Amino acid sequence: MLSAADSPPSSHEQLLRWYIEAGVDEAIAEIPTDRYAASRISADSAPASPSVPPPVQVATQPATSAHLAMDCRNLAELRTAMEAYDGCALKRTCQRTVFADGNPAAPVMLIGEAPGADEDRLGLPFVGASGKLLDRMLASIGLDRGSVYITNVVPWRPPGNRKPEPTEIELCLPFVERHIELVAPAILVFLGGAPASALLARQEAISRLRGRWLDYSSSRLARPIPAMPTYHPAYLLRTPLHKRDAWRDFLAIRKRLDAQS
Ligand code: URA
């Protein structure tokens, strides 16, 4: 209890002691105060320290096949980029990336559609039944795997040997385009409708495109490359009647090679 004689001291410290001795143990205002809310507001509105910049938000996007392919300066880098790429669903069902076979310094580059079961198992293009026919067709004009270079538009086997979907071809296109630029062959041979349509951007059937020299161009090639579309060997195995036309196409390839040498 305070007595009238107990006059309040003057300094703040003395005042506090005086309250405590007088029995005051808490300060209660007329209106309740939410101290938690007050401390949250002051933390949120505190200015950021000038020495700690706010974190930079970088959106990470998976590299596209076009970006990856463009950066490759040689065939080894292209192979590594294709093996590391996981933007194509075919990669999840196939066993390996079928890159190429033959001689990259050869004047002729042949491009097929996609690997089959044998190619997927061995990691090389055209090693199954259609590959055996292709080897005989090449031999008929004096060529073999040492004097040509072979790859496919799609380097991953479509499950069940189905045809690659247009979206799958589109994803793989930058890789095969870069492949052509790096090899820069004297002559291209497109085996079947898939490589012919994709690389020449033409919609006609292979029966209409085959047997004609057409220009393959790309902005990163010094000049267009003469390209000969012809039937795919797997098609010739099913329809041997068309072997006669394919034979003519291969003779035209031989003639052009002889004229260039
Ligand atoms: N068919 C293709 O188009 N490519 C191969 O590698 C094998 C079969």
Q: Is 114 within 8 Å of 140 (Cβ atoms)?
A: no
Q: Is residue 222 part of a domain?
A: yes
Q: Is residue 151 part of a domain?
A: yes
Does 79 score more than 50 pLDDT?
Answer: yes
Q: Is residue 12 part of a domain?
A: no
How remote is the CA of residue 64 from the centroid of ligand 1, in Å? 25
User: Which residue would you say has higher pLDDT here, 26 or 76?
Assistant: 76
Q: How far is CA 201 from CA 193, 205, 246, in A?
A: 11, 12, 22
Model confidence pLDDT, tens digit, residues 99-123:
999 999 999 999 999 999 999 999 9
DSSP string, 194-227: HHHHHHHT--S-HHHHTTS-EEE--TTSSS-EEE
CA distance 170 to 13: 81
Rounded-to-10 torsion of CA 100, 209, 202, 87:
-20
Q: Is 249 within 8 Å of 108 (Cβ atoms)?
A: no
Domain count, the chain: 1
CA distance 59 to 65: 18
Position in ligand 1 atom list of the atom nearest CA 194: 3
**pLDDT value at position 1?**
44
Residue 2: pLDDT band with limits 50, 70, 90: very low
| Ligand 1 neighbourhood includes 181 CB (under 6 angstroms) | no
CATH number at residue 137: 3.40.470.10
| Ligand 1 neighbourhood includes 116 CB (under 6 angstroms) | yes
**What does pLDDT average to over the chain?**
88
Site to probe by mutation for ligand 1, drawn from 101, 130, 168, 235 as the one with most ligand atoms within 8 Å of Cβ, is 130
Phi, psi (degrees; rounded to nearest 5) at 112: -95, -160
Q: Is 227 within 8 Å of 213 (Cβ atoms)?
A: yes
Q: Is residue 10 part of a domain?
A: no
Does 161 score more than 60 pLDDT?
Answer: yes
Q: Is residue 3 part of a domain?
A: no
In this structure, what DSSP letter does residue 179 have?
H
Q: Quote the pTM value.
A: 0.78
Q: Is residue 249 part of a domain?
A: yes
| Ligand 1 neighbourhood includes 126 CB (under 6 angstroms) | yes
| Ligand 1 neighbourhood includes 115 CB (under 6 angstroms) | yes
Which domain does 113 fall in, by range?
65-260
According to DSSP, the residues that pair with 108 across neighbouring strands are 148, 187
CA distance 87 to 65: 8
**pLDDT value at position 193?**
98
